[in-house]
Each structure stands twice: as structure tokens, then as C-alpha cells.
Structure 1
Amino acid sequence: MYAYLKALHIIFIVTWFAGMFYIVRLFIYNAEAAEKGEPEKSILQKQFSIMIKRLWLGITWPSAILTLLFGPWVMLQGNWGKTLGDEAGRWLLVKLCFVALLY
């Protein structure tokens, strides 16, 4: 069970970050489309807006939520909570601080 949860957690981390990296590219394409003439400008900007909305609401945001759900579940299944106070578990506290910054 632990291996499946960990795999799902990693899959959703990858899709979350892929969405964050790709949305930046779509913003750039949208900005470049603003420099074009009509009707190309309005057609491209409309299409990029649809793509941005679908990427954010359909892939990136759900992946972030599922990552947030599977993370604590993996931590509980793997008994990582016990090591948070130990010296060996400090890396997890640092990681959780960085994850909190992402949200």
C-alpha cells in the first residue's frame, strides 16, 4: 500500500510541476500574440486563454490538491511523523516548509 501511495504522490508532483512550467510558456505565447495584427491576435489570445484555463483548472490545480492529500497519507503510512522531532527527520521539516511556500 505504501509503495502505491508514494507512486501516486510522485505522479501528482510531476503533473503539478509540469503544469506550472507549461503555464509560463502559455503566458509568453499569449504576450507574443498581442504583438500580431488582427484577426490573428484575437484568435490566438482567445485560444491561449482557453488553454491556460484548462491547464490550470484541469491539471495543475487538481494535481496540487492531490499532492497535498497523498503527502500526509504517505507520511502516516511510512511512520515519518515519528522522525520529525529527530535529527534524522529535519530534512522533512525543511521540505515541508518549502512545500508550504508553493501553496
Structure 2
Amino acid sequence: GAMGPTDQDWIGCAVSIACDEVLGVFQGLIKQISAEEITIVRAFRNGVPLRKQNAEVVLKCTDIRSIDLIEPAKQDLDGHTAPPPVVNKPTPVKLPHFSNILG
């Protein structure tokens, strides 16, 4: 039975990972995931692509405050794709800054 996602189900998913104030917010595709750390590729930091596009970013779970799955843009019934949100938060609520989300 599918009781919920396993770690392997996250591999290849686009995620937004909120870390502490120093690290900021990373977005990318999960390449590896473990209890200790998460490796992402094609990473953005605070919305800016990393200079080395093929660089792998390893984030320790102790630095991570929250992880959000970024849903791929879905076409609505009219055939238009919804414009991507400025900040890839998978919620329709527009919050001025991440402190509201992280508490």
C-alpha cells in the first residue's frame, strides 16, 4: 500500500528549501536524499541561479527549516499556463517575506 512518499520518491522533484538567514532559500532538483543531508542540482539560491549550473549543492538537514515541493506548471482548462509565482512557494498565498512562513 502507498502509505506516503519514501525518500526515493523525492528524487528528481523540484523543491524549495528554506534554510537559515545566512544560507537563504535554495531551489533545485533533488539528486540524493538521506537522513543527514539533501543534494540538489540545477540550484538557485534566493532566486538567483548558481554560477556553476552543474554544481551540486549539499544542504545539511540541520540547516533546513522547511522543504516545499514545487509543482510543475499545470495548464488550466483554457490551455493557458499559469504564470510562475515570483517566489516558488507552492501556496496561493502571497507572503511578503519568509519569516511569516517559518515563524
TM-score (normalizing by structure 2): 0.19
More strand by share: 2
TM-score (normalizing by structure 1): 0.19
Larger Cα Rg: Structure 1 or Structure 2? 1
More helix by share: 1
